[in-house]
């Protein structure tokens, strides 16, 4: 079983990655010395598939479990949902000795983590990510948050999980679109830290229309673990985003979040807007940081192979996107702190990106792919 450890002092923990790991949640909870009652927080999509299985594992380890199911989708990441679930937990008898267990995607992980961080001023929680996005990114690092009408993740806290269990077999039940969008975060990791992953990602993309094959399912634990390891090392360097290193994980997210907030939740998936944001960030990287055209092309070709969107839909108003970006947590003192690439694997945090630059980038991604973005790579199938 691949295990990735995060060394964060008193907040250190392990991420266990293994096919079939859902059945070990109770065992890992006991090993982590969790006591009290477990509040299982999940959504209407995940509970019918995996909720009872996780509950049974906890009960087999002698934990009492209450179940709290929220509607699937981004709308559940709200203070209204937080209030409802907290009231349910109080009625179920949870106190400061309890802990939260969160099987689900990024929405459930963010929501349940936020509830755990505030219930009785903070109780332990366990992340059980069941989507690509959650397994390789959002379940690791301790960021919890809910949305407000003004923007995404504007109310939140840092609260590290006690441990994480990632079972790649849960990905088999995902629709193809959700599989693809989750892999946008893998492309991001490759771009900022491990460019050699881009070729295998393009190869893996060939299997998505028919679902992962048996051989790819056998490879997935190591692929997932490699991505988790990238994020883990960055989190160790900058747990609370004080040195700037962790900001590199926002590559493609600044304009991406603006796009996501400009349409009804669910119209565009998170990984889809990250893909659009990456194309915009590559444009600005070429303009302001000297990113070589070949490096830009390799990332664009990987996103294209995954059939992720690279042109801003006509229904998205660039002016509205910009308005949302201005409320982003990374917008300070009239300037946006923006992640650019100098070259593959070499990100830089820049405060030189102006509002006019953002407008130009939005105009650029409103157009079809340009020839310079997609020119053929002479070594596109070789390892870097």
Active site residue: 236, 241, 323, 360, which one?
Answer: 241
In the set 250, 286, 298, 330, the catalytic residue is: 250
In 3D space, the residue among 226, 369, 382 whose CA is nearest the CA of residue 296 turns out to be 369
Task: For residue 250, indicate whether it is catalytic.
Answer: yes
Verify whether residue 77 is a known catalytic residue.
Answer: no
The reply to whether 257 belongs to the active site is yes
241 labelled catalytic:
yes
Give me the catalytic one of 16, 55, 77, 143: 143
**Would you call 231 a catalytic residue per the annotation?**
yes
Catalytic residue among 188, 231, 324, 330: 231
- Contacts of 336-340 with CB under 8 Å at 24 or more apart are 336/254, 337/247, 338/254, 338/281, 338/284, 339/192, 339/247, 339/248, 339/250, 339/251, 339/252, 339/254, 339/281, 340/281, 340/284, 340/285, 340/288, 340/289, 340/291
Q: Which entry of 68, 77, 246, 330 is annotated as an active-site residue?
A: 246
Does residue 253 carry a catalytic annotation?
yes
Question: Which of 230, 16, 223, 2 has its CA nearest to residue 127?
Answer: 16
55, 94, 162, 185: the active-site residue: 185
State the catalytic residues.
121, 143, 185, 231, 241, 246, 250, 253, 257, 270
């Amino acid at each position: 079983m691949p295990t990735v450890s995060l060394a964060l002092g008193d907040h250190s923990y392990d991420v266990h990655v293994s096919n079939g790991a859902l059945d070990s949640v109770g065992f890992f909870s006991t090993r982590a010395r969790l006591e009290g009652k477990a509040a299982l927080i999940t959504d209407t999509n995940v509970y019918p598939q995996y909720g009872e299985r996780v509950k049974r594992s906890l009960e087999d380890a002698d934990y009492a479990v209450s179940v709290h199911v929220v509607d699937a989708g981004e709308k559940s990441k709200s203070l209204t949902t937080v209030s409802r679930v907290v009231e349910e937990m109080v009625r179920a008898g949870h106190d400061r000795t309890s802990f939260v267990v969160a099987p689900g995607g990024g929405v459930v992980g963010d929501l349940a983590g936020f509830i755990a961080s505030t219930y009785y001023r903070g109780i332990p929680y366990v992340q059980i990510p069941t989507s690509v996005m959650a397994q390789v990114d959002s379940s690791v690092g301790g960021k919890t948050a809910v949305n407000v009408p003004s923007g995404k993740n504007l109310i939140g806290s840092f609260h590290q999980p006690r441990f994480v269990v990632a079972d790649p077999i849960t990905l088999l039940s995902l629709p193809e679109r959700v599989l693809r969008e989750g892999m946008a975060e893998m492309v991001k990791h490759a771009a900022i830290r491990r460019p050699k992953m881009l070729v295998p990602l393009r190869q893996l993309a060939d299997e998505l229309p028919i679902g992962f094959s048996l051989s790819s399912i056998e490879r997935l634990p190591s692929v997932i673990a490699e991505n988790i390891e990238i994020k883990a090392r960055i989190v160790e360097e900058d747990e609370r985003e004080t040195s700037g290193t962790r900001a590199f994980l926002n590559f493609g997210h600044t304009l991406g979040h603006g796009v996501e907030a400009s349409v009804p939740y669910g119209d565009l998936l998170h990984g889809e807007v990250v893909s659009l944001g990456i194309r915009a960030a590559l444009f600005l990287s070429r303009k302001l940081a000297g990113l070589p055209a070949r490096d830009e092309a390799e990332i664009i070709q990987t996103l294209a192979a995954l059939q992720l969107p690279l042109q801003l839909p006509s229904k998205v108003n660039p002016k509205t996107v910009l308005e949302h970006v201005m409320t982003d947590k990374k917008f300070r003192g009239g300037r946006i702190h923006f992640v650019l690439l100098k070259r593959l694997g070499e990100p830089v945090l820049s405060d030189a990106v102006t509002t006019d630059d953002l407008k130009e980038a939005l105009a650029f991604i409103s157009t079809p792919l340009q020839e310079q973005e997609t020119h053929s790579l002479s070594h596109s199938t070789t390892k870097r």
